[in-house]
Structure 1
Amino acid sequence: MALVNAHTHLELSDQGHLLPEPSAEFTAWVPGVIRAGMQRTPAAIRDACEAGIAELLAAGTTHVGDISATGISVELLARSGLKGIVWLEVLGATMERGLARLAHVKSYVNELREQAASSPIHIGATLHAPYSLHPDLWEPALRWIEAEALPLCVHLAESPGEWALLTEGTGPFRAFEEKLGLPALPCPRMTPVEYLESKGVLGFRPLLVHMVQVTDNDIQRVARSGATVVHCPRSNARLECGRMPLEKYLAAGVPVLLGTDSRASSPSLSVWDEAEFAMKLHEGLVTAEVVEEMAQDEGLFKDVGEW
Structure 2
Amino acid sequence: MLYRADIVIGGRGEAIPDGAVRIAGNRILAVGPAASLPPFAGEPIVTLSGQVLSPGFINAHCHLDYSRMKGLLPRASFPKWIASINSHKRTFSDDDFIEAIHHGFELLITSGTTTVGNIESFPELLPRLPAPPIRTWWFLELNDLRILPDAEERTLGVLSFFHNRPGWLGGFGLSPHAPYSASIDLYRLARRCSEHFHMPFTTHIAESREENEMFLYGSGPLHAMMAKLGRDNTDCGHGSSLSHLVEHEVLTQDCLAVHLNYMQEYDWEMLRRSGASVVHCPKSHAYFGYAEFQMERMRKEGINVCLGTDSLASNTSLDLRAEARLVLARHGTAAVDPEEAAREEGNGGEVHGTLTPLDVWRMMTVHPAKALGQAGRLGELSPGALADMVAFPLLPKTGNDPFLSLIAGTTPPTCFVLDGRRIISEDR
Would the TM-score normalized by the shorter structure come out above 0.5? yes
Whole-angstrom distance in 2 between the partners of 1:87 and 1:74: 15
Instruction: Give the distance between the partners of 2:83 and 2:289, measured in 1 at CA.
Output: 16
Give the distance between the partners of 1:73 and 1:258, measured in 2 at CA. Answer: 25
- Where does 1:4-23 land on structure 2 (aligned, <5 Å)? 4-21=58-75
Distance in 2, matches of 1:136 and 1:294, equals 31
Is the alpha carbon distance of 1:141 and 1:273 closer, same or farther for their aligned partners in structure 2, counting shifts above 3 Å? closer
Q: Counterpart of 1:284 in structure 2: which amino acid?
A: H
Look at both structures and tell me which one has the larger radius of gyration over its CA atoms: 2
- Greater shift after overlay, 192-201 or 283-292? 283-292
Answer whether contact 1:125 1:151 (CA < 8 A) is retained. yes
Note the aligned Cα RMSD (angstroms).
Answer: 2.6
Question: Shift in Å at residue 19 of structure 1?
Answer: 4.1
- Does the C-alpha gap of structure 1 residues 264 and 102 become closer, same or farther in structure 2, counting only changes over 3 Å? farther
What residue ranges of structure 2 are gaps of 5+ in the alignment? 1-53, 332-350, 376-428
Paired with 2:128 and 2:116, the residues of 1 have a C-alpha distance of 14
Show structure 1 runs of 5+ residues with no match. Answer: none
**63-72 vs 211-220, which moves further:** 211-220
The one of 188, 200, 212 equivalent to 1:139 is 188
- Bigger proportion of residues as helix: 1
Q: Which has the higher mean CA deviation after the structures are superposed, 47-56 or 59-68?
A: 59-68
User: Residue by residue, what CA displacement relative to the aligned partner does 1:230-272 show, whole Å, maximum 9, x if unpaired?
Assistant: 0011112212332210111111111111000000011100000
Give the stretch that moved more between structures: 154-163 or 186-195: 186-195
User: Following the alignment from structure 2 to structure 1, what is the Cα–Cα distance between the partners of residues 299 and 360?
Assistant: 11
Structure 1 position 156 matched with structure 2 position 205: yes
Q: Deviations over 1:43-69 (max 9, x none)?
A: 111100000000000111111110001
What is the alpha-carbon distance in structure 2 between the residues aligned to residue 142 and residue 38 of structure 1? 30
State the match for 1:272 in structure 2.
321
The normalised TM-score by structure 1 is 0.87
**Aligned equivalent of 2:78:** 26
What displacement does 1:226 show? 1.6
Which runs of structure 1 show a deviation greater than 6 angstroms over 4 or more consecutive aligned residues? none
How many angstroms apart in 2 are the aligned matches of 1:74 and 1:61? 24
Question: What is the CA–CA distance in structure 1 between the aligned matches of 2:163 and 2:91, rounded to whole Å?
Answer: 27
2:138 maps to which of 83, 86, 105: 86
Deviations 1:162-192 (A, max 9, x none): 1111111111212222454655453151212
Offset of residue 140 of structure 1: 4.4
Question: How far 1:41 sits from its partner (Å)?
Answer: 2.1
Q: How far 1:10 moved relative to its partner?
A: 0.2
Output the amino acid matched with 1:176.
M
Which residue in the other structure is 1:54 paired with? Answer: 106
- Which 10-residue stretch deviates more, 139-148 or 269-278? 139-148
- 2:309 maps to 260
Please state whether the residue corresponding to 2:312 is helix, strand or coil: coil
Structure with the higher fraction of residues in strand conformation: 2
Percent identity of the aligned residues?
A: 28
* 1:1-307 matched pairs, under 5 angstroms: 1=54, 2-21=56-75, 24-71=76-123, 72=125, 76=129, 78-80=131-133, 82-93=134-145, 97=147, 100-115=150-165, 117-180=166-229, 182-184=231-233, 186-187=235-236, 189-203=238-252, 205-282=254-331, 283-289=351-357, 290-297=359-366, 299-303=369-373
Q: 1:134 to 1:226 in 2, by over 3 A?
A: closer
Deviation larger for 122-131 or 230-239 = 230-239
Q: Deviations over 1:134-181 (max 9, x none)?
A: 344433454444444431101111011111111111112122224546
Match of 2:4 in 1: none
AA at the equivalent of 1:231: H
Count matched residues. 300
Indicate conservation of the 8 Å contact 2:108/2:318, yes or no: yes
Q: Does the CA contact (< 8 Å) of 1:99 and 1:137 recur in 2?
A: no
Q: Which has the higher contact order (CA 8 A, sep 6+)?
A: 1
The one-letter code sitting in structure 2 at the alignment partner of 1:291 is V
Partners of 1:40 and 1:105 lie apart in 2 by 24
- The residue matched to 1:189 in structure 2 has which SS? coil
Q: What is the TM-score normalised by the length of structure 2?
A: 0.64
Q: Is the 8 A contact 1:86 1:124 kept in 2?
A: yes
